[in-house]
Structure 1
């Protein structure tokens, strides 16, 4: 069968989107997701997105990383799906329900409430997630946050000086993180601006990570280093993050773009 796809990106974090509502598709497997994501022999993307019907939401979204592993949440992909829907909507993900709506600066996503208990990250051992007594070389005492998926946030003087391509996979796969972890290194520029680089679990260095921007903003807010609304600058561009109070949901606003549409033979990748 010939399957249709949509290529999209949010600040350079790119996706191949398959809509199983418009066309009946066989079950996606990790091996096939990885094959389609391959930039040399597949279509090429950071994440593969499969859309489907949902009983208690407007749409369901499954997210497969570049390595084929299925994950709970992806903020940039959520904005991309919001762009496709073109109206306020609720999206069912493995990490819970997310709410999207068009906004002046692109698509606004209600990312829900962050979680901080060590069991909710999850961590292998109980510890203070606001000031974790652990380190990897110069990266020490991170903040752990779950925003639908697990993040470790390191607040450093100069995030560009960190060898993230070397330390990222070490931290991602440390036994302290039973479900692996996304690794964020961030520098506070002002009370309203953060600079961020992300090693994404299962995808590697990325030009943008929506959940990473949310987790990093919340970590800096919890440490009282920034205001409750900030701009997070990533290699691919800016995202705007607000967390009005400790018991509020995080909102993320930023652009999403459709690049092109195409099709492929399903059996070539199955």
Structure 2
């Protein structure tokens, strides 16, 4: 059975989008999802995105990391889906309902409200998520927030000097984070700008992470380090994050369709 797909990306964070809104897609098991994401023997992507009908929104977006496991949210994928929809769209995700709309040459996504309580991250035990009394080697005193998925952010003097490829997986799987966690290092570069690198839970180092940009900007704004909107510079490009302390997070940035194709399901079973 051949299944069509759309290859898309947001700032180099790339996706294989399978659209099952009008024609149901056969179940794609964990091993099949991982095989499709493999860059050497599959199509290759940072996340596999499955679109389905929704009773609660215009469509449902399911997100799967390269290991085949399901994720709760992905801001860059939401922009790609918003571009694909071509109009203002409500999107049901595992992390809640979000809204996307075209904005000039890009896509703006309302990512919902940030959650700061330790139970909402979640953490293994109570602590102040604004100044966590924990650390891993030179990464100390992070802050945590849930923006549809859990993030922990360390503010550092030089993001390039942090061995995130080594420390990222250590922090991600620390017992402090029962559901694992996305790990970011952020460097303030101006009154309304920061530079960011992200180790994504279940995916590893990434060129861009939309929820990571939201998390770092919201924490910086909460700590009064920056003014909104915040320009977040990632290896793949820049996202603009707006948040005013008691409202929704809005993320704006580019998305693009790369090509379309199809795959034989039996080749990936």
TM-score range, shorter chain: over 0.9
- Residue of structure 2 equivalent to 1:47: 47
User: The residue matched to 1:14 in structure 2 has which SS?
Assistant: strand
Unaligned runs of 5+ in 1: none
Describe how 1:28-177 pairs up with structure 2 within 5 A: 28-177=28-177
Cα deviation, 1:106-143, whole Å, max 9, x if unaligned, reads 00000000000000000001000000000000000001
TM-score by length of 1: 0.98
1:222 aligns with 2:229: no
CA distance in 2, matches of 1:199, 1:56: 31
CA distance in 2, matches of 1:17, 1:33: 12
- Residue of structure 1 equivalent to 2:246: 247
CA distance in 2, matches of 1:222, 1:118: 16
Is the CA contact (8 Å cut-off) linking 1:157 and 1:187 kept in structure 2? yes
Q: CA deviation at 1:104?
A: 1.4
CA distance in 2, matches of 1:153, 1:257: 28
CA distance in 2, matches of 1:45, 1:22: 23
Cα deviation, 1:218-239, whole Å, max 9, x if unaligned, reads 1111111000211000000000
Is the CA contact (8 Å cut-off) linking 1:105 and 1:253 kept in structure 2? no
CA distance in 2, matches of 1:165, 1:105: 33
CA distance in 2, matches of 1:221, 1:105: 26
CA distance in 2, matches of 1:142, 1:32: 36
User: The residue matched to 1:112 in structure 2 has which SS?
Assistant: coil
Cα deviation, 1:15-47, whole Å, max 9, x if unaligned, reads 000001243211222211111000001100000
User: The residue matched to 2:73 in structure 1 has which SS?
Assistant: coil
Unaligned runs of 5+ in 2: none
User: The residue matched to 1:221 in structure 2 has which SS?
Assistant: helix
Is the CA contact (8 Å cut-off) linking 1:95 and 1:149 kept in structure 2? yes
User: The residue matched to 1:119 in structure 2 has which SS?
Assistant: helix
Number of residue pairs the alignment of both structures matches: 269
Q: CA deviation at 1:105?
A: 4.4
CA distance in 1, matches of 2:133, 2:115: 19
User: The residue matched to 1:186 in structure 2 has which SS?
Assistant: strand
